[in-house]
Structure 1
Amino acid sequence: MEKHLVSIIIPAYNRASLIGETLDSVLKQTYSNWECIIVDDGSTDNTVEVVRTYVAKDERFKLYLRPVCRPKGANACRNYGFEKSKGEYINWFDCDDILKSDFLEKKVELFRKRKGIDAVFSYGAYFNANNNIIDSSKPKKKYSDIFDYVSNQFHLSTPGPLWHRNFLSNKTLFDEERQKIQDVEFHFRMFLHQFRFDSYEQDYLFLIRRGFDRISSKKTLSTKKIEDVFTYNYFTYASSDIVNTKYLDRYKKITALNTLKAFYEIMVYQKSIRNRYKIFKKYKSEIKKVTSEMKNGFSDSVKINLFLILSVTIKKGFSLLNK
């Protein structure tokens, strides 16, 4: 079974105090035919030095620095790591999370049993600063339709899927300009390709860090990041003509609603009415399209128009979307 090389690709930025624990968990894998590619994103601490100690003691670790011609961010590092990888299977991972020892073994085994699939999914569990398991990322239901994904019944985190290289090789991978919900947007685009997959659901296979030192944080929120959420949700709505779903009407409704909710979040984040109106004008065409989906009669039309007026002027009106 171990003839199949697996490439674990990890973007890293200022994780000197944590990345060693992640790389130790890679070393403990019961499936040994792996390479671990770490792409540093311009760390200003000693992350690179920590990684070099692992490269020195095990040649399966490989360190690269993000090229200056690529935009800063984990997405560019993930894509660059893929370009440098040689594995038949690909698994992206985060530099502050932990792999269970059978993380690779269980997923490669499913690939061996299920010939012709493009990916194997797994789920993780969240742990806090005291190393206590506090929650699980297990999907609410087994995936059966892309509607499950856009309605948040089925979630994939970046480390979850083990991908077959052949499936990824001719695809646009992570959006290097996107700063928020990169993995959600990436997985949605992969679902549009209707890939074949199986899932390992007996237990969680990795641990996701929760706490003050987690990479993703509300402290780094920005208008650009909130707009990324809006553009993703609008993209899901605009893709309704090409999605393969037996719930098309419900799909359109929920993606339209998600788009308006994301628009509301942008409005709430803006301090001035001038900025709110500027953003409204920027996305006026998109807003017009999604609101047309939600207007079923005079009453709905009044509520939607009132929602838009209140959102832009006084950052109110969210409750109108739920009536």
Structure 2
Amino acid sequence: MIEQPLVSIIIPTYNRAHLIGETLDSILAQTYTNWECIVVDDGSTDETEVLLAAYETKDKRFKYYERPDNHLSGGNGARNYGLEVSKGEYIQWFDSDDLMLPKKLELEVNALFTNDVDFVISKTKYFNRKNNSFSNYDFIASDVTFESYAIDYIRWYTPDLMVKRSIISNIKFNELLTAGQEHNFNCKLLLKTNNLFYLNMFLTSRRYSADSIGGERGQSYITHQIKLFEAHWYNYIDLKDKANSDKFNRYSLLQCVQCYLESRNTIPLPNGFMKALKMDYPKRYYFFYLARISNSIFGKYYKFYELIKQNETFNTYGLNKN
């Protein structure tokens, strides 16, 4: 490699003092050394600050910040602030309980630099549980478009992405989202560019934690449906005008319909939802009313749901977050 651009590793954290040390050690072990690690604390009440002070003393490349009040609480606000204070030409998002393989940064930077692309995608697998099927890495770079990612089968995790700062300077994580935030971010990225290199290698070891947001959501089916509804609705609101894709609009709303019905009609419908459904399903939206009635009385909705969905060519399933 001729040049070694600075890589900003941005990590949001909350009460992970018992785990984040392993993450930071895996960063220290990187064969690529021109990096800064921005850790943004989202209000931890454990020993996170003390632990990070020790790492800052050990290596000046570690930098600890507390999320300011002008960003909403949550990982998204912490990531957005981390980007603001970072200085790297390349941005690597990461999570506070995952691990980098030693050559992760080296291989990704080299792929970005030598292939003249805007971003690189690598792969992640769990090291403490069986991998879920929703991360489908069975694609090639030319397969990746906004619709193939937003609607169809292509998926990747947050730590899989290394991207040029210049490309995402105006792209933010939606701070209202508590699920599907990386999906929303990547949709925005793909509306701007799909000039990528796919590094078909597992370079991140992902930790499954039952007490994580995703783990807790997995313990409650109704909560899972509420979070999925929220993710698809905000994605629709964020992107419907920019995407200019009727297929994306219909897909997002149909996912919301499915989540609502799976929750047994318990999810409060947001303002504008029925108007949007009527607009994108002008001849079939009324089947939603019939599905709600059937679901309320009989606990069944599938026949009416299929009448809304008829003639659509996409599958409906949840976003790729445990």
Query: TM-score per shorter chain, which class?
Result: 0.7 to 0.9
- How big is each residue's C-alpha offset from its partner over 1:45-82, in whole Å with a ceiling of 9 and x where there is no partner? 11221222111100000000111332111111101111
**Number of residue pairs the alignment of both structures matches:** 299
Trace 1:64-143 onto structure 2 (pairs within 5 A): 64-115=65-116, 117-128=117-128, 134=131, 137-142=135-140, 143=143
Q: Which residue of 2 aligns with 1:317?
A: 301
- In structure 2, C-alpha distance between the alignment counterparts of 1:233 and 1:315, rounded to whole Å: 28
Q: Is 1:179 aligned to 2:169, yes or no?
A: no
Confirm or deny: 8 A CA contact 1:230 1:263 kept in the other structure. Answer: no
Aligned equivalent of 1:209, options 207, 210, 227: 207
Which piece of structure 1 moves more, 94-103 or 305-314? 305-314
**2:305 counterpart letter in structure 1:** L
TM-score by length of 1: 0.81
Aligned equivalent of 1:263, options 260, 263, 278: 260
**1:200 counterpart letter in structure 2:** L
1:263 CA displacement: 3.4
Q: Quickly say closer, same or farther: Cα 1:236–1:291, change in 2 above 3 A.
A: farther
1:225 CA displacement: 3.6
Confirm or deny: 8 A CA contact 1:42 1:65 kept in the other structure. Answer: yes
User: Equivalent residue of 1:200, what SS?
Assistant: strand
- How big is each residue's C-alpha offset from its partner over 1:100-133, in whole Å with a ceiling of 9 and x where there is no partner? 1111111111112112x211111100122xxx66
- In structure 2, C-alpha distance between the alignment counterparts of 1:108 and 1:145, rounded to whole Å: 22
Q: Which residue of 1 aligns with 2:244?
A: 242
User: Equivalent residue of 1:268, what SS?
Assistant: coil
Trace 1:231-310 onto structure 2 (pairs within 5 A): 231-232=233-234, 234-235=236-237, 238-239=240-241, 242-243=244-245, 251=248, 253-265=250-262, 267-268=263-264, 270=266, 279=269, 283-292=273-282, 295=283, 303-310=287-294
Q: Which residue of 2 aligns with 1:273?
A: none
Q: Quickly say closer, same or farther: Cα 1:53–1:230, change in 2 above 3 A.
A: same
Unmatched 5+ residue regions in structure 1? 271-275
TM-score by length of 2: 0.82
Q: Quickly say closer, same or farther: Cα 1:61–1:233, change in 2 above 3 A.
A: closer
- How big is each residue's C-alpha offset from its partner over 1:152-196, in whole Å with a ceiling of 9 and x where there is no partner? 411122111101011112x13111222221111111111111341
**2:54 counterpart letter in structure 1:** T
- In structure 2, C-alpha distance between the alignment counterparts of 1:259 and 1:103, rounded to whole Å: 36
Aligned residues: percent identity? Answer: 34
Q: Quickly say closer, same or farther: Cα 1:3–1:83, change in 2 above 3 A.
A: same
- In structure 1, C-alpha distance between the alignment counterparts of 2:76 and 2:7, rounded to whole Å: 20
- In structure 2, C-alpha distance between the alignment counterparts of 1:195 and 1:18, rounded to whole Å: 34
Trace 1:163-178 onto structure 2 (pairs within 5 A): 163-169=163-169, 171-178=170-177
1:147 CA displacement: 2.4
> What's the C-alpha RMSD, in Å, of the aligned pairs?
2.9
Q: Which residue of 2 aligns with 1:46?
A: 47
User: Equivalent residue of 1:188, what SS?
Assistant: helix
User: Equivalent residue of 1:306, what SS?
Assistant: helix
1:261 CA displacement: 1.7
Q: Quickly say closer, same or farther: Cα 1:233–1:7, change in 2 above 3 A.
A: closer
- In structure 2, C-alpha distance between the alignment counterparts of 1:192 and 1:313, rounded to whole Å: 42
1:149 CA displacement: 1.1
Unmatched 5+ residue regions in structure 2? 308-322
- In structure 1, C-alpha distance between the alignment counterparts of 2:192 and 2:13, rounded to whole Å: 29
- How big is each residue's C-alpha offset from its partner over 1:232-269, in whole Å with a ceiling of 9 and x where there is no partner? 353488348625xxxx6x5555444323223334x437
- In structure 1, C-alpha distance between the alignment counterparts of 2:271 and 2:130, rounded to whole Å: 45
